[in-house]
Chains A and B, each alone.
Chain A
Amino acid sequence: MARRPARFLRWGRAIAGSALLAALVLSFYFPDSSWRFAQYFAKAQFGQILGAVVSLGSAASLALFLFYALLTKVWGRVFCSFLCPLGVAMELVGLLRQKARPLKFRRSPRSFWRALIPALALFLFLMGVTLPFGLLEPFSVFSSKSFWLDVPGLVLALALALAYFKGRAFCNCLCPVGLIFKILARKTRYRLEVGPQCPRCGRCEAACPCHCLDPGEGGVEYERCVLCLRCLKACPNGSLAFRRSAPAQSHSPSPALARASGSAPTSTPALASAFASAPASFPLARRSFLRQAALVAVAGAAIAAPELTRAQTILVPDETPILPPGALSLAHLNAHCSLCHGCVRVCPNGALRPATRGGISLIGKPVLDPYRGFCQYDCVRCAEICPTNALLGISVEMKHYWRIGLVHLRRKECIVVKNGTRCGACAELCPTGAARMEMGPSGREEPTLYRPLCIGCGACQKACPVRPVSPIWVVGRKYQDAMASRPIQNHGADIAMTEDFPF
């Protein structure tokens, strides 16, 4: 193939990827005007829609999932350097590094160990323990807010540091989405291949941040390739190019390598080979030991996962936290939330934040803190942005009778009762009339609760001037539900004046 299309591909990818990344960052910082962009971006993320796909949550997610699978089957891991925000960021870091002090990469052999961490994270995610997946899923790594001594920030720093010193190691060693793409990209319609007129200059190998390219014996190990296309730029005569795969040799190493290792690992079953065969230089006994160890690890995880799932429903905090509207229950949120914190970012009142307490299951999941802000009555942004269906998309109309918490009052600590102050801030903010000012035992109008009307938005707690502990507060519902009856609507005509000017 000629060099012109290759250059166009490279620059096209770099510019489009950077533009998307910049737009995403902007929409994070200006959520009020542009949060819809973050919503569509999150919902287009392969790792995020997995949550919606495993629960058969939405047809659109399923269709998108199939589209990405097809795309990968045809072209390889197009997603990884184009739509993945972390991938694009790592490419930018790589670009900086290459400008400053170019790294020379060397092809590294295939290794089973690369698949271990992402496979475990993915497995636990499918079993309903989402914390490891959330810490490694690239969109979540990129977008999540700080919690727990800023673990997400550390993972992001690690990914970018790896990009600076080791190339795209994160994508092949830690990223659970990368693992799925790896499996899909084992056989593709088109692939990068070294042509016959290759001068064996080695420049492509030195440029490859995935360590998956060797113009000599190894060829291109396409499943590890994230299509950064640096090799295309490095190739002096265009002999490295996209070619239609020859069906028989689509994945097997070159005949020379097979001869050297003394075996032809072409008949490995799909799943086992997904974990990649052990390095070719290993003796046979050691390789089989590693395979057995992997099986033991997977089996161990399979046994441990239900226990962990059970543990995270037992380890509920003392007081049920207020979960965002649509989360249904702690168990539902736990099983689906990928910790992307899109909801935390778009909440107009800044009421949501990643939980910092409440056990391993709750940490990092979004909870509502009424002391920071309350849940706006006519807003369902968090439920709309959630890409994994951890928050079910409830409508604004439904939100008006969707109960996420219940109000409590320590009457004697209220300043109206205690000091005789005319306050009423809670009743002022309450959108449903669950807190009202009515004549009470104190002989004054004091906060009076109509708890069946409470939807748990926390406006009363936010408005109450008593600090640090408000005498009116909201406790989250263990199971969110809809009120038995809809809010009463007044459809009557306005009352007429008794006289024109009553003064």
Chain B
Amino acid sequence: MKRRDFLKGCAGGALALGLGSPFGNIGAALAQEAPFPDLVAARGENLPRMFDAALTALGGLSRFIQKGQTVLVKPNMGWAVTPDKAANTNPELLSHIVKNALNVGASRVYVFDNTCDNWASSYRDSGLEAAAKDAGATVAPAHDSGSFQEVVNPGALYLKEVELHELYLEADVIINVPVLKHHGGAKMTAAMKNLMGVVWSRGSLHWSGLDESVPELLLYKKPTLNVVDAMRVMLTGGPRGRGDSQYLACRTLIASADAVACDSACAAIMASAGIAQPGYVFNASQRGLGVSDLATLNVQRLTV
């Protein structure tokens, strides 16, 4: 009897550790370690410096990357437009993150995106391929269905089977580096929506409705860290941007382990400029994939 009790206790403890926290066990372990903020927002003029400040507040990049781990840095490079249009992640920021990941001991850093425009033009024109390669990352292709593997998405209502990029499945650490901008379909794109770039059949997300399916991208695997580039925010004509697009001089960088919290802060920025709220942020928090109510989180605001 005693041994059986012991085993039951072990199983229960493991379950509690696994399911007890909305962040999963890593989040729970981290939460006990030190009073790090849940979300850091940094304002300034220089994205790499803002990143450094935000990460210092979060306890350093080494808190997220262990020595020898493989890291996927997933920018938004879905559009064949130049960096000044702010439709893709800032190349300087990406390059800085890749260098830092290698500095803290990442064995390899991968960068890819399943683009909307032609992939070769998007990789080139966004300046992100060159920036990532110069910083020492491996830029992987994502324009061929052969790079993707179908997985069963646990607990999904819409994306029950989803084809994810093999590097997204393999990488030990995922750093999600989206750009915040307006989006014609989903109202806004930031952390969660950026994960559409690791999925092959994007059409199925549109087919089931973005508000419902975008949160389900967090079900199979969550990014370890989200860093939102909100330096210059496209307010109209997104996500590609047009000649008449308007921009918000936002000068902000948001970092958090919780993609939903990131998107909630981004939605607040968009709302301050009069852009309607996306539905998927609320849906994600309803389904327990993250916390959208920033009042309940420890938010640190920095000016660099």
Contacts and interface: CB of A to CB of B under 8 A. Distances in A.
Contact of B120 (A348, A421, A501): A348
Size band of the interface chain B makes with A = 35 or more
Contacts, number: 125
Contacts of A502: 268-269, 271-272
B186 A424 contact: yes
B240 to A, nearest CB: 6
B211 to A, nearest CB: 5
Contacts of B239: 428
Given A421-B207, A429-B116, A465-B203, A490 B41 contact: no
Given A349-B118, A376-B80, A424 B269 contact: no
A497 interface: yes
Contacts of B222: none
B183 A428 contact: yes
Given A348-B121, A431-B242, A488-B244, A501 B41 contact: yes
Contacts of B240: 428-431
Contacts of B74: none
A270 interface: no
Given A424-B185, A465-B203, A503-B294, A379 B121 contact: yes
A430 B239 CA distance: 9
B1 interface: no
B204 interface: yes
A490 B244 contact: yes
Interface in A474-503: 487-490, 492-503
Given A429-B240, A500-B301, A503-B41, A422 B186 contact: yes
A413 interface: no
B299 interface: yes
A497 B249 contact: yes
What is the interface of chain B mostly: helix, strand, loop, or mixed?
Answer: mixed
B265 interface: yes
A32 B124 CA distance: 11
A262 B190 CA distance: 90
Nearest to B118: A348
B25 interface: no
A415 interface: yes
Interface stretch (A216-224, A291-299, A432-440): A432-440
B185 A487 contact: no
A417 to B, nearest CB: 13
B264 interface: yes
B210 A423 contact: yes
Size band of the interface chain A makes with B = 35 or more
Contacts of A423: 185, 206-207, 209-210
Contact of A425 (B43, B206, B243): B206
A121 interface: no
B118 A498 contact: no
Nearest to B241: A431
B120 A495 contact: no
A463 B268 CA distance: 29
Contacts of B232: 494
Most chain A CB within 10 A, of B120, B183, B243, is at B243
Contacts of B252: 501
Contacts of A497: 248-251, 272
Contacts of A432: 242
B125 A415 contact: no
22 contacts: A348-B120, A348-B121, A376-B118, A378-B80, A379-B121, A415-B207, A422-B212, A423-B207, A427-B184, A428-B116, A428-B185, A429-B116, A437-B184, A487-B243, A489-B243, A494-B232, A495-B246, A497-B248, A501-B41, A501-B43, A502-B269, A503-B268
Interface of A: 32, 348-349, 373, 376-379, 415, 420-425, 427-433, 436-437, 463, 465-466, 487-490, 492-503
